[in-house]
Chain A
Amino acid sequence: MKKFLLAATAAALVQLGLMGNASAAELRYAAAGDIYGLDPHSMTDSFSINFLQHVYEPLVRYNKELKIEPALALSWEVIKPDVIRYKLRQGVKFQDGADFGADDVVVSLMRATAEKSPIKGNLPALKSVEKIDDYTVDLHLSGPTPLLNNYLTNIAIFDAGWLEKNNAVAPVDAQLGEEGYTTTHANGTGPFKVESRRPDAQTVLVVNEGWWDKPEHNLTKITFTPITSDATRVAALLSGEVDIITPSPLQDAKRIASNPGTKVLESPGLRSIMMNFNMRDKLVDGNVEGNPFKDARVRKAVYQAINMDLVRDKIMRGKSRNAGMQIAPEVPGFDAKLNERFPYDTAASKALLAEAGYPDGFQFNMNCPNDAYVNDEEVCQAMTAMLAQVGLKAKLVTEARTLHFKKAQEGQTDMFMIGWATLPMLDGFSVLSAMLHSPEEKLGTWNPGGYKNAKVDELVKKIDVELDETKRRAMMVEAFGITEQEVAWLPLHQQPLSWAVRDNVEVVQTADDLLRLWYAKVK
C-alpha cells in the first residue's frame, strides 16, 4: 500500500511538473467532436480522416491552395487509360523505424478497398495494385478514372510489416466483435506521431523528427481536446486554456474579436447548402392532384420567391456567400456566370405559378435538419415565410440529422435541405454523379427527388471517364448549365467557416474546413 501511494504521488508530481512549463511551440486545439479512432481506414468521417493525416500520409495530398501535390508518391503517369504508375518517394521511414516502400502501398490500398472495408467507397474503380519494383507500383483500374488522385488524397498508407505483426491486415470489422489493433495504435509516416490518447478527453501528438518533408510548422506538440458544448469551447479559448477552436460559433464572433488576445478567422467554405425537389408522381403532403414540382416553372417560382440577400444579412450575419451553383468557386466545374442567381422577384414568381396553373399556390412539406448546418433551422423558417408571400404553403418539419437524412433518402419529403462539400472528391463530379444523374446503380445516390434529364445523364457518364482535364471541365459546366436552367435543385449559399485562434497562432484556413497543423505556427 505504501509503495502504491508513493508511486501515485510521484506520478502526480511528474504530471504537475509537466503542467507548469507548457512549451511555446505546443498548440492546444479544441474541436466540436472527437475523432472516431486512430485507424483512418475505419471511418468515412472527413474530420477524423484529416486529423489522422497528421500521423498517416496518403500518396498525394492537398496543399494550402487545395491543389494536389506529391506526398509519398513522387510522380505518376498514365501507362494505359486504366493503369496508372506511381513512383514512390525513397528514404521515407515509418515512425517505428521501418522503411517505406511499394509493399506498404500494395497492402494499404488493398486494405482500404477490401470487401469489408468501410471506406471502399472512397477509392472506387481500384481493381488491384501491382508492385513493379521497391519504389514503383501500378494501379489497375476498372476504367479510366480522372479523379484517381483526388481519391488517393484520402487513403492513408500503413506499414505492411507492422500490420502483419499486429494481425491487422484485414480492415477493422465492427461485426466480428473484436477490437482492432489499429483503432488504438498508430504508426504512420506523417509529421506528427501519437503520444497518448484518451477517447473524448485528449489526444496528444508530438513532432516526428524523422519526417521526410521540410516542416513549415514550428510545433513540438499538439494537444487535441474535443469540446462539444459551443459555450464551453469559446470559454476555453477566452480563458487561454486552448489556442484554437473549430468551429467558432457565429453568434460569439464579436465577443471573441473584441477580447484582447483572440481573433476570429472567417471565410466562406466549400459546403453548399441547397434544397431538393420531389419530382415523383405525387406530393408527400400536398393539397393538389399530381405533383406541381414536376413543372420547371413551379420550381423556378420557388427559387425566385426566396430572398437570399435577406437570409445572408439577417440570419447568416453577412458571412455566407449566396450561390447559383451547387458547388463553391474552389471546386473544379465552377463557372462564375452560372453562379449568378435568378433574381429575387415575387411578381415573377407569382406569374410563373399562374402560368403553371397554380395561381393560388399549393401546399407541400419541407424538411430541414436542425443540427447539421449553420443556422439550418432559421434559414428554413425564413424560406417558409417567403414562400407564403407568393401563396406557397410549405409545412416545415425540422429534425435531428439522423432522422432528417433517413427521411430524405427514403423520399418522404417534398423539399429537403442538404449541404454538400464534394468531399473527399473535391470536384464538381461529386454533385453531378450523386445529385443530378437519375438514380441508377452507383449514380444518383442522392437524387431521391428523381430529377432526370437524358442529356445530363449522358454527360455525366462521359465526364466519369474523360482524362483530358479541359474537356472534362467544359462538360461539367455544360451539364451544370442545363440543370440550372431547369432548376433541378434550389441552390442557396455556401455557409461560412468560422475558427477562432489566440493572436500568437498562425494557421491556414482552407475552404474544406479541415485544419492542417503542419502549416501552423505558434509565436
Chain B
Amino acid sequence: MFVFLVRRLLQAVMVMLAVAFIAFLMFRFLGDPVNNIVSQDATQVEREEVRQRLRLDDPLVIQYGRFVANAASGDFGISYRNSRPVSALLAERFPATAELVLVAAILSLALGIPLGIYTALKPRGVLSQGLQILSLIGISLPTFVTGILLILVFSVWLGWLPSFGRGDVVDVGWWSTGFLTASGLKALILPSFMLCLFQLTLIMRLVRAEMLEVLRADYIKFAKARGLKNRAIHFRHALKNTLIPVVTIFGLQLGGLIAFAIITETVFQWPGMGALFIQAVNFTDVPVMAAYLVMVSLIFVIINTSVDLLYNVIDPRLRTDPTRATGKGA
C-alpha cells in the first residue's frame, strides 16, 4: 500500500512537471502580456523595461526552470493583472470552486443513481421513457446553453433564483463558504445543476445499462429462484455489481467537473478558480495560468488515486498487491 502511494506521488510530480512544461510551450501563442500592463501609447523603451523586469526576455527553458524552482518552495509568483501573489489568489478562489463541484458531484450521484435504477427496473414505464428523452437532451445540449436557459427561466421569468454570484458568504478561517447563508444556498442551485447535468445524465444512463445487464445474469435468476425478495435482489446483489463502472466513470468525471466548472463559473460569474483562469487567459497572466494548470493536474492525480483505492473497497477481487503483481516484491 505504502509503495503504491509513493509511486503515485512520483507519478503526480512527473505529471505536474509535464503539464507545466506544455503550458509554458503554449503561453507563447497567447500573445504578449506586456501590452496589457503598459498604457496603450507606451514607448518601446518602456515596453522593454517591463519585459525585463518580469524577465520575459529570458529563454523559455529558463523561465520554466525558474517557475519550477519557485513553485517547489510554494511560490507561484505575482499575478500581472492583480499584482497579488498567485497562491493567495488561488487560495481565495478555491473554496468557491470546491463547494460548487462538491454540490454538483453529490447531486449527480444522488439523482443519477436512483433515476438509473428506476428506469432499469421499469423500462417500459411512461416516466422512464420521459426520463430517457430528457437525459438525451441533457447529454447533447452544450452546458452554456442550459446555463443561459436556467437563468432565463428561474431568474428573469420567475425571479426565484439569482443569476450570478455566490450570494452572501461567511468566512470560516480562510475558507469562505456559501453553505451558511440562505442567499448562498440559493445561489448554488442553478450553477451546480448546470454543472452536474451532464454527469447526472451520464450516470443515470450508465446505471440503467449496467443494471439491465446484471439483471439478466444467471445469479439474479438463481436468486429469484431461491425466493429472495425483489428488494434484496435489486439493491443488495444487482446494484453492488453495477457500481464498479460507475465509480470509475465518476472518478474520471470528477476531474471533468472541475474542468467544466470554468464554463459554469463564466456563465454565472461564480468567483472560483475557473473564472480566474479565464481572466488570466484574456490578460496573458502567465503565473496564474501556470499555477492553475499545475494545480488542476494535481487534483486529477489525487482523484484517480482515490478511485483506485476505492476499487479495493468495493470489489474484494481486485485486492491484489501491486508489488507482487509486477514480481518485484519488497
Contacts and interface: CB of A to CB of B under 8 A. Distances in A.
A121 B41 contact: yes
B82 interface: yes
A485 interface: no
Contacts of B115: none
Interface in B25-47: 29-33, 35-46
B84 A37 contact: yes
Contacts of B83: 36-37, 39, 42-43, 172, 174, 179-180, 183
B84 A19 contact: no
A201 B267 CA distance: 13
B182 A12 contact: yes
B116 interface: no
Nearest to B44: A445
B285 to A, nearest CB: 10
B27 to A, nearest CB: 11
A177 B151 contact: no
Contacts of B168: 12, 15-16, 18-19
A409 B283 CA distance: 17
Interface in B215-270: 266-269
B184 to A, nearest CB: 8
B82 A37 contact: yes
B84 A232 contact: no
A36 B81 CA distance: 6
B44 to A, nearest CB: 7
Contacts of A226: 269
Given A177-B77, A227-B269, A238-B156, A445 B284 contact: no
A446 B78 contact: no
Interface in B172-190: 172, 176, 180-183
B180 A232 contact: no
B35 A406 contact: yes
Interface in A240-261: 240-241
B310 interface: no
Nearest to A19: B183
A8 B75 CA distance: 32
Nearest to A231: B148
Contacts of A177: 75, 77-78, 85
A432 to B, nearest CB: 11
B226 to A, nearest CB: 48
Interface of A: 4, 8-9, 11-12, 15-16, 18-19, 30, 33-34, 36-37, 39, 42-44, 116, 118-122, 172-177, 179-180, 183-184, 198-202, 225-229, 231-233, 235-236, 238-241, 371, 400-406, 409, 420, 424, 430, 433-434, 441-442, 445-446
Closest 7 interchain pairs by CB? Answer: A402-B31, A201-B271, A44-B39, A15-B168, A434-B41, A406-B32, A403-B31
Which of B41, B46, B282 has the most A CB atoms < 10 Å from its CB? B41
Nearest to A154: B39
B164 A199 contact: no
29 contacts: A11-B180, A15-B183, A30-B164, A36-B82, A44-B37, A120-B46, A174-B83, A198-B176, A199-B82, A199-B271, A200-B271, A200-B275, A201-B165, A201-B269, A226-B269, A227-B269, A228-B266, A228-B278, A232-B148, A232-B267, A235-B148, A235-B156, A235-B164, A236-B163, A239-B159, A400-B31, A402-B31, A402-B35, A434-B40
Contact of B165 (A8, A174, A225, A442): A225
Contacts of A236: 155, 163-164
B183 A121 contact: no
B75 A121 contact: no
Given A121-B38, A406-B32, A235 B183 contact: no
Contacts of A445: 41-44
B170 interface: yes
A241 to B, nearest CB: 6
A37 B77 CA distance: 17
A183 B275 contact: no
Nearest to A408: B35
B35 A405 contact: yes
Contacts of A240: 159
- In this complex, the member of A119, A175, A433 whose beta carbon has the largest number of chain B beta carbons within 10 angstroms is A175
A199 B92 contact: yes
Given A177-B75, A235-B151, A241-B163, A12 B170 contact: yes
A229 B81 contact: no
Nearest to A443: B43
Interface centre among A122, A199, A225, A226 (most CB of B within 10 A): A199
Contacts of A229: 266-267, 269
B231 to A, nearest CB: 38
A12 B186 CA distance: 13
A403 B30 CA distance: 6
Contacts of B35: 402, 405-406, 409
